[in-house]
Structure 1
Amino acid sequence: MQNKAFFYHQLLFDQMTLPKSLLLQYKSLGITENEMVVLLHIYRLQLEGNRLPSIQELSTFMSLNEPAIAQVLRKLMKDGFIKIEQFQENEVMHEWYSLEPLWKKLYEKEQVVKQQETEGNLFLLFEQEFGRALSPIEIETINHWIDDDQAKPVLIKAALREAVLMGKLNFRYVDRILNEWNKKGVKSVDDARKVSQSFRTHSNTQQSSAKQQKRDTSVYYNWLEGENE
């Protein structure tokens, strides 16, 4: 029983490090299960010192035959996931499978996913503040800020919060804030803090405090006093 437990212990510690995002994103990258297993074996063998495993070597660990593995390798190279490169060692030129294209595609995919999540949260934040679903024109306006004006989502969020605190909850006012910040070269929330007071002072749309409807802003996050996200 102790020998079995020791074997399990050894089994658990005989591991290799693998990016979790590869397992989560390989399908969206267009990598099939067979291609994934070939990539994993190439990665494992390279960690063990075999930088250019042969088709015969790969076939010993897989249920695919050699012609099928050769076809998988050709497709991986054609799709830009691996490439054969040369390196010099002890004045001798060697070849190896470079997985750098795979890591690059994976990194770019991660950035796209994060950007989509950020933008999705941005649309959700607008809907929460407006208390309703956004109209197609309003969605197009937000996309225009992101794609055409190159406004950072964190600044769009800050402009929305400013509009909420000022009691000017409409897209025209948010757009005016973003335009004002753009003119003044605002690139971060910290920059926005520095010009915000000037913007409020010169805003001809701000109502006088005597006529302004009393508003409880305690439930809103005051981005001017928060941390730079």
Structure 2
Amino acid sequence: MHLPFSYQKLLTEQINIPSKLINDYNGLDLNEEDLMVILQILNLQKYGELLPSFELIAKNMTINANEVANVLKKLRNKNYLQIEQLTDEANAQHEWYSLSPLFEALYDVEKESSKEEEGKLFQLFEQEFARTLSPIEIETISYWLDEDQFKPPLIKAALRESVLMGKLNFRYIDRILNEWKKKGVRSVKDVKQSSQNNQEVQAPKEKRDTSVYYNWLEE
């Protein structure tokens, strides 16, 4: 006897999968095999298997347990998956695969926009210098971003300051950034505020637009 299709059963057997994961997994440097392992983990956890074995994950896949182990290793190396402790309602401790880092990376809009800003920053420097940047110059900008933690808009402000002062060179820009760092200037808003404060206590040496920029190295 053919049993009628049960929509209720269909609904109870569903797992929640963000459409962004389906659309953007490739942007996280994941492939279809990695994605299916992630989906298998989510499905098994729904039924109480918080830390499923490699064999259990591979059971409904076309890859074997060793290949699953390699995928899990890849996910952990990329910091998309962690093994964490979970306390249930009875205060019992369990280990489980946490995919929170994966979803944090997936929805890290600020990081995505920051990377896009960084790419445009290098292009802006090449436009202002009217030439291709040298490896040392590229390394200098990367150092400002990664080591000094200057945001792209602040570096752009320093670049524009150097253009206004007619001193378009990396040494001058670096001095501006370090001077701002000493003064606690960490944003373009801080630059404008500090520039206005300085203009209030010093008479301008020549007529020019000083509403935003200020020669920080001639105090």
Q: TM-score range by the shorter chain?
A: 0.5 to 0.7
Q: 1:121-160 to 2 correspondence within 5 Å?
A: 121-160=120-159
1:44 offset after TM fit, Å?
A: 2.9
Deviations along 1:151-204, one digit per CA (max 9) or x if unpaired, are: 32221111122333x2525024433432332232211111111122427997xx
1:168 partner amino acid: G
Asked whether the equivalents of residues 28 and 106 of structure 2 are also in contact (C-alpha less than 8 Å), the reply is no
2:168 partner amino acid: N
- Aligned CA-pair RMSD: 4.4
Tell me the residue number matched to 1:16.
16
Q: How far apart are the structure 2 equivalents of 1:140 and 1:192? A: 24
Aligned residue pairs, count: 195
SS at match of 2:131: coil
Q: How far apart are the structure 2 equivalents of 1:154 and 1:45? A: 45
SS at match of 2:186: coil
Tell me the residue number matched to 2:83.
83
Q: 1:48-87 to 2 correspondence within 5 Å?
A: 50-53=49-52, 58-59=57-58, 61-64=60-63, 68-69=64-65, 72-73=68-69, 76=72, 80=76, 81-83=81-83, 85-87=85-87
Indicate how the Cα distance of structure 1 residues 136 and 32 shifts in structure 2: closer, same or farther if over 3 A, else same.
Answer: closer
Q: How far apart are the structure 1 equivalents of 2:114 and 2:200? A: 30
Indicate how the Cα distance of structure 1 residues 91 and 82 shifts in structure 2: closer, same or farther if over 3 A, else same.
Answer: closer
Q: How far apart are the structure 1 equivalents of 2:211 and 2:47? A: 51
Deviations along 1:31-71, one digit per CA (max 9) or x if unpaired, are: 5643431221111333465534566654553233xxx1365
Identity over aligned pairs, percent: 40
Asked whether the equivalents of residues 52 and 97 of structure 1 are also in contact (C-alpha less than 8 Å), the reply is yes
Asked whether the equivalents of residues 83 and 101 of structure 1 are also in contact (C-alpha less than 8 Å), the reply is no
**TM-score (ref. length: structure 2):** 0.62
Indicate how the Cα distance of structure 1 residues 98 and 47 shifts in structure 2: closer, same or farther if over 3 A, else same.
Answer: same
Task: Note the residue ranges of structure 1 that are not aligned, 5 or more in a row.
Answer: 1-6
Asked whether the equivalents of residues 37 and 71 of structure 2 are also in contact (C-alpha less than 8 Å), the reply is no
Q: 1:192-203 to 2 correspondence within 5 Å?
A: 192-197=191-196, 198=198
1:170 aligns with 2:168: yes
Indicate how the Cα distance of structure 1 residues 51 and 127 shifts in structure 2: closer, same or farther if over 3 A, else same.
Answer: same
SS at match of 1:126: helix
Asked whether the equivalents of residues 44 and 50 of structure 2 are also in contact (C-alpha less than 8 Å), the reply is yes
1:224 aligns with 2:196: no
Asked whether the equivalents of residues 41 and 58 of structure 1 are also in contact (C-alpha less than 8 Å), the reply is yes
**TM-score (ref. length: structure 1):** 0.60
1:97 aligns with 2:97: yes
Asked whether the equivalents of residues 58 and 68 of structure 2 are also in contact (C-alpha less than 8 Å), the reply is no
Deviations along 1:66-111, one digit per CA (max 9) or x if unpaired, are: xx1365147625863343645333355555333345456x469987
